[in-house]
Amino acid sequence: MIRLGVPSKGRLMQDCFDWFAARGVVLRRTGSDREYAGAVEGVEGVTPVLLSAGEIPRELASGRIHLGVTGSDLVREQLDADEVAEVARLGFGRADLVIAVPNVWIDVETVDDLDAAAAAFRKVHGHRLRIATKYHRLVRDFLTAQGVADYQLVDSQGATEGTVKNGTAEAIADITSSGETLRANHLRILPDGLIHSSEAVLWASRAAAWTAEDRAALARLSQMLGVPGVSV
């Protein structure tokens, strides 16, 4: 039996259920509102597992679920590329992981400028320029690839846009869809600082135990969903 991890609440859950329903696979929550149980209609051999979207990458990596729907930002941040296969991009939950700096930094337009500003900042302040984020790996890989030095990442698990105003960071790297919250906090996105374009993706775990029956069920599901099969 294929275990399909789906977000257990909120907008992401609803969009996910709608996406599957539009393709003839009906996901439902069963029991009371507080009980995370579910059912699938329309395809044999698949059982839903309702999970917090943030836990789905870990469950995919460990192989406790065969398939899972969650944001590509979370998967790319937490997993290596070969731990999962992308089954389908679902086209919702879109948001960009971007670098933003204070709008008053009129001398900073590119990542290149950020690097130069970081060098000067370190000389004046005696510590590296701090970038607040919860996406440590994605941000570090991006900045390393761009050859940025003299920065440090500071962890921020929420209200990241406020860290600059509060004096705990000089710049931020955060997920945004409209950029409104950034602007409200007097920050501006660096046009070439797009680290990752995230959207909801249906992933297949490479660590899960795929029996012959599971593979057959995956083939049936892929056909119903109208996506090319993946080898797992």
Partner 1 sequence: MTSKAVIRAEGERLLAAFLEAGAVAMEADILQPAGTLLDLYGEDIRARAYVTDDPLRGEMMLRPDFTVPVVQAHMAHGAEPARYAYLGEVFRKQARGAQEACEYLQVGYEVFDRSAPETADAEVFALFRDLLAGLGLRPVTGDIGILMAAVCGLETTERRKAALLRHIWRPARFKALLDRFSGRAPVPVGRLRLLERLRAGSPMALIEEAGTFVGLRSAEEIVERAEALLADAETPPIRATEAALLYDLLTLEAPAAHALAHLRGIAPMLPAIVPAVDRFAARLEALAAKGVAVETLTFEASHGRTALEYYDGFVFSFVAEGMPPVASGGRYDALTAVLGAGAFIPAVGGVIQPGLVARLRGALA
Tell me if 187 contacts partner 1 by CB under 8 A.
Answer: yes
Residue among 209, 206, 219 at smallest CA distance from 84:
206
Scan for tokens 């939950």, then name that residue. Answer: 93
Query: In DSSP terms, which residues pair with 129 in a beta bridge?
Result: 151
180/192 with CB nearer partner 1: 192
Shortest approach of partner 1 to residue 79 CB, angstroms? 9
Burial of 81 from C-beta contacts in 10 A (0-12 / 13-18 / 19+): exposed
82 binds partner 1 (CB under 8 A): yes
d(C-alpha 52, C-alpha 209), whole Å: 22
Binding partner 1 (rule: CB under 8 A), the pick from 55, 86, 113, 199 is 113
Verify binding: residue 125, partner 1, rule CB under 8 A: yes
Cβ partners under 8 Å of residue 121, min gap 6: 128, 129, 150, 170
For partner 1, give the closer residue by CB, 52 or 181. Answer: 181
In sequence order, the 6+-apart residues with CB closer than 8 A to the CB of 137 are 76, 77, 78
Contacting partner 1 (CB under 8 A), which of 124, 178, 226, 231?
Answer: 124
Nearer to partner 1 (CB atom), residue 19 or residue 135: 135
Contact call for residue 22 and partner 1 (CB under 8 A):
no
Which residues from 190-219 bind partner 1, rule CB under 8 A? Answer: 191-192
CB of 143 to partner 1, least distance (A): 7
Contact stretch for partner 1 (CB under 8 A) within 11-19, 45-53, 149-157, 221-229 = 149-157
Position 150 contacts partner 1 (CB under 8 A): yes
Show the CA angle centred on residue 168, arms to residues 163 and 171, nearest 5°: 60
Looking at beta carbons, which pairs linking 215-218 to residues 24 or more positions away fall under 8 Å? 216/45, 217/1, 217/2, 217/43, 217/44, 217/45, 217/46, 218/2, 218/66, 218/67
Among the listed residues 149, 159, 216, 219, the single contact to partner 1 using CB under 8 A: 149
- By the criterion CB under 8 A, which residues form the site for partner 1? 80, 82-83, 102-107, 109-110, 112-113, 116-117, 119-121, 124-125, 127-129, 136-137, 140-141, 143-144, 146-147, 149-153, 164-165, 167, 170-171, 185-187, 191-192
